[in-house]
Amino acid sequence: MIEARDLTKDYGSKRAVDGLSFTVRPGIVTGFLGPNGSGKSTTMRLILGLDAPTRGDVTVNGSDYREHAAPLHEVGALLEARSVHTGRSAHNHLLALAQTHGIPKRRVSELIDLVGLHEVARKRSGKFSLGMGQRLGIAQALLGDPKTVMLDEPVNGLDPEGIHWMRNLLKGLAAEGRTVFVSSHLMSEMALTADHLIVIGRGKLIADTSVDDFVSRASQKVVVVRSPELESLRAALAGPDVSFEPAERGALEVHGLTAEQVGDAAAAAGIVLHELTPRQASLEEAFMNLTRDEVEFAAELQEVVA
Amino acid sequence: MSAATPSVRLPRLDRTGSVAFRRVLLSEWTKLRSVRSTKWSLGVGFLLTVAFPIAFSFATSSHWGSMSPQDRADRQPLDIALVGVNVAQLAIAVLGVLLISAEYSTGSIRSTFTAVPKRLLVLWAKLIDYSVVSLALMVPAVLVSFFSSQAILGRHDILQISFTQPGVARAVLGGALYVMLVGIFALAIGAIVRNTAGGIAAFAGIFFVLPPLMFVLPTSWNNAISQYLPSDAGRQLFSLHHASHSLRPLTGGLVFAAYCVAAIVIAAVLLVRRDV
């Protein structure tokens, strides 16, 4: 369980996180979504007590992260930026962290095997590929068998097999009753993994909703029809919430009606249809629509500054 | 990692413990021993401490015949025995800075403070581990340099001093103590500056640049001020003869230790306050 109340962080005159309040619940995967630079990583650093909030506060499993007697058992975190000494082996890196909590050495080997780093565990981690670095970060996050797992862009640098593995892992962790909080800038990835979404843009909360709600709200009703009698069809479909746009190859895009409604109306009017295709706005489009204002504002601002 | 695996299960951890200082000490020890820079710096530190006195002893011994009486009288056997300390301190200082600055440059400090959010435990553990290691390295190093240089100079009675002579044991072991304090001071600077190049530059500035600058001052000012510089005060720990305008060994050592404490206090305050 992660609870943020009015969480705010300024770096100099720049406000990176702006009055965020949200709750991340156990037992489900919560996606933390936002464009790059929207404050996701900063929020995660605030949760871990690495940065101090300018205003507001955040607790993990009921108390300030710094107050936990055994933080690695409370939260396992993978941060976006590399957080391993490049001259140290994966094994020694994990061992040093395990030792702070008296976690036995065999747990280190167990996690190294789990993430598939067995063969390179004794090599300097500076030579790791991005994907290997991510796996080491995941081993680190899971080292203390934590109640809450918080991962910043965990699929970055993973191959398709690794991404699949990651999805299963996250779902499994949530099914065990853990709190799972995963950031991403990719809506499509979140749609496959997450149950709940917290969306931010420029440090502000944009949406706190279930993935299903987000998807249904985001998918506008658009139907593409082709017919030799387009003019009659227009007349038959016309209504206050309905609008039309010409589409490719003489087709017509109908906004505001479902495919069923269009088909029924055409049949009732005796109009022949050659095509009737419901079109859903992709999740990526929905996400872009939702965050567009924030991103555009940032782009304009950059132009002004430049 | 197999794509065919339907679900990935995290093995449970049967026994769980809390963060404790002795555990952080062990963790920091693991970190210290598991990077190459430790082996290099400590190896070089030991080698320089021992090699310089041996080389200087051979040089003195072989030139003895052609040296003037004045020149011979100026030879201080203890200075020869401990000449390496002046060089070894740089290796120990560089490692001291690196022990903390490398955590910032690589980002591992985030892992460290996530595991141990009570950050001062990490600072105390680093200081204690490094003090023990540098002292354990330097005590044998100064003993080897003293006895080997004395053995090489054995033909010249005037250059023989006994370990039991007043002040000699104190000066020899003081050399090791001095280097340990240098390591502590450098580690604190590393924690303040959080940057390897900056930390080493700050150390070099205080220890190697500041003292000669004092000679620009009127002599009376120089004499009054220089004795209180960290390097001059600390050096009294391993000097047998003391000028009128330098501190006694105990006072000098305490002054240098006070500088270390001050640096540690600043480092501790900043460590708690600053974002990582």
| 3-class state of residue A242 by DSSP | coil
Q: Does the beta-carbon distance from B27 to A100 stay under 8 Å? A: yes
- Residue A298 pLDDT more than 60? no
Task: Quickly count: other Cβ atoms within 10 Å of residue B96's Cβ.
Answer: 31
- Which token pair is B62? 């072989």
* pLDDT at residue B114, rounded to an integer: 96
Model confidence band, residue A80 (pLDDT cutoffs 50, 70, 90): confident
> Phi/psi at A16 (nearest 5 deg)?
-85, -35
* pLDDT at residue A150, rounded to an integer: 97
Nearest CB neighbour to A101, from listed B11, B23, B109: B23
* pLDDT at residue A250, rounded to an integer: 82
Chain A residues inside the 8 Å CB shell of B10: 114, 142, 145, 169, 172-173, 176
* Ranges A202-206, A247-251, A260-264, B106-110: which has the least confidence: A247-251
Residue pLDDT, tens place only, A131-174: 899 999 999 999 999 999 999 999 888 889 989 999 999 999 99
Query: Do the beta carbons of residue A79 and residue A96 sit within 8 Å?
Result: no
- Which token pair is A57? 């506060």
> What is the number of residues in chain B?
276
d(CA A214, CA A208): 9
Task: Quickly count: other Cβ atoms within 10 Å of residue B158's Cβ.
Answer: 11
Query: Do the beta carbons of residue B217 and residue B225 sit within 8 Å?
Result: yes
- Which token pair is A297? 């504002």
Query: Can you count the helices (H) and strands (E) in chain A?
Result: 11, 13
| 3-class state of residue A302 by DSSP | helix
ipTM: 0.91
Model confidence band, residue B189 (pLDDT cutoffs 50, 70, 90): very high
Domain ranges of chain A: 2-217, 220-279
Q: Smallest Cα–Cα separation from B178: which of B77, B256, B80?
A: B256
Q: Does the beta-carbon distance from B111 to A97 stay under 8 Å? A: yes
Q: Where are the alpha helices (DSSP H) in A103-244?
A: 105-114, 130-142, 160-175, 187-193, 211-218, 230-237
Tokens 């604190």 correspond to what residue? B188
Chain A residues inside the 8 Å CB shell of B17: 70, 101-103
Between strands A75-78 and A196-201, the pairing is unpaired
CATH no. of A220-279: 3.30.70
Choose between B3 and B13: higher pLDDT: B13
Query: Do the beta carbons of residue A196 and residue A25 sit within 8 Å?
Result: yes
Q: What residues have CB less than 8 Å from B83, skipping those under 6 apart?
A: B52, B53, B56
Closest chain A residue to the Cα of B98, Cα to Cα: A85
* pLDDT at residue B71, rounded to an integer: 86
Chain A residues inside the 8 Å CB shell of B101: none
Fill in the DSSP letter of residue A238.
-
Domain ranges of chain B: 21-273
Q: Give chain B's radius of gyration (CA, Å).
A: 23
Tokens 């387009």 correspond to what residue? A230
Between strands A204-210 and A148-152, the pairing is unpaired
| A43, A58, A67, A99, best to mutate vs chain B, most B CBs in 10 Å | A99
Burial class (CB in 10 A: 0-12, 13-18, 19+), A178: buried
Tokens 């093995």 correspond to what residue? B11
Q: What is the average pLDDT score of chain B?
A: 93
Tokens 């809450």 correspond to what residue? A148
Domains A2-217 and A220-279 share a fold: no
Chain A residues inside the 8 Å CB shell of B28: 96
Structural domain A2-217, CATH architecture: 3-Layer(aba) Sandwich (3.40)
* pLDDT at residue A246, rounded to an integer: 86
User: Distance from first CA to last CA of chain B, Å, rounded?
Assistant: 33
Q: Does the beta-carbon distance from A145 to B16 stay under 8 Å? A: yes
d(CA B151, CA B54): 10
- Residue A284 pLDDT more than 80? no
Closest chain A residue to the Cα of B27, Cα to Cα: A96
Q: What residues have CB less than 8 Å from A196, skipping those under 6 apart?
A: A25, A28, A29, A30, A31, A209, A210, A211
Residue pLDDT, tens place only, B27-80: 999 999 999 999 999 999 999 999 999 999 999 999 888 888 888 888 889 999
Q: What residues have CB less than 8 Å from A151, skipping those under 6 apart?
A: A77, A78, A138, A141, A170, A180, A181, A182, A183
Model confidence band, residue B104 (pLDDT cutoffs 50, 70, 90): very high
d(CA A221, CA A279): 7
Chain B residues inside the 8 Å CB shell of A79: 107, 110, 114
Query: Do the beta carbons of residue A32 and residue A196 sit within 8 Å?
Result: no
Residue pLDDT, tens place only, A105-133: 999 999 999 999 999 999 999 999 888 99
* pLDDT at residue B2, rounded to an integer: 43
* pLDDT at residue B268, rounded to an integer: 98
Chain B residues inside the 8 Å CB shell of A68: 117
Query: Do the beta carbons of residue B183 and residue B95 sit within 8 Å?
Result: yes
- Residue B100 pLDDT more than 80? yes
Give the H or E element holding residue A15: strand A14-24
The backbone region for A56, taken as left when phi is positive above 0, alpha when psi lies in -120 to 50, beta otherwise, is left
Q: What is the average pLDDT score of chain A?
A: 89
Query: Do the beta carbons of residue B72 and residue B158 sit within 8 Å?
Result: yes
d(CA A213, CA A61): 27
Q: Smallest Cα–Cα separation from A93: which of A108, A107, A82?
A: A108
Q: Of the ranges A190-194, A270-274, B186-190, which is most confident?
A: B186-190
Model confidence band, residue A306 (pLDDT cutoffs 50, 70, 90): very low
- Which token pair is A262? 């269009």
Q: Does the beta-carbon distance from A110 to B11 stay under 8 Å? A: yes
* pLDDT at residue A180, rounded to an integer: 97
Q: Smallest Cα–Cα separation from A285: which of A223, A183, A217?
A: A217
